[in-house]
Copies of this chain bind each other. A is one copy, B any other.
């Protein structure tokens, strides 16, 4: 009887984590739409803006996403003209991602987004820092010893 307590939604840690992540992504949506990106495309572009050039496997490792998600996503980014996909000569199994000039121009439009979203949230910086650290800690804990990270 007592053990059913652990099956109550209100006693779960996973649920507020799941729901909050979902609602935060939803907060981004209207701002991202203005620049023609989805949330997942946005975090992919963040990596691509910084690296300029990288391979799909590398991107997947950074975003914790597999090729079943990335393959169609990258094709959409290519269709929109933000990236260019090509074969890596050194290893013809790999796909190289390169940002285009339009892709870099997009960054100038996107640069306001973190501020705009931040303005909607009103979380004090101490809580934000704590939440940042705790989620990173948990993420590292979970994905450590993960075979897919080998």
Chain B CB within 10 Å — which of A3, A21, A49, A122 has the most? A21
Answer whether residue A147 sits at the interface, using C-beta atoms and an 8 A cutoff: no
Rounded to whole Å, the gap between the CB of A88 and the closest CB of chain B is 22
Q: Number of contact residues on A: which range applies?
A: 35 or more
Q: Out of B12, B111, B130, which one reaches A6, CB within 8 Å?
A: B111
A27 CB contacts on chain B under 8 angstroms: 142
Q: Out of B9, B43, B143, which one reaches A43, CB within 8 Å?
A: B9
Interface set of A (CB-CB < 8 Å, partner B): 3-4, 6-9, 12-25, 27-28, 39, 43, 46-47, 49-50, 62-64, 107, 110-111, 113-115, 117, 120-123, 127-128, 130-132, 134-139, 141-143
Q: Do the beta carbons of A24 and B14 come within 8 Å of each other?
A: yes
A18 CB contacts on chain B under 8 angstroms: 21, 24-25, 39, 43
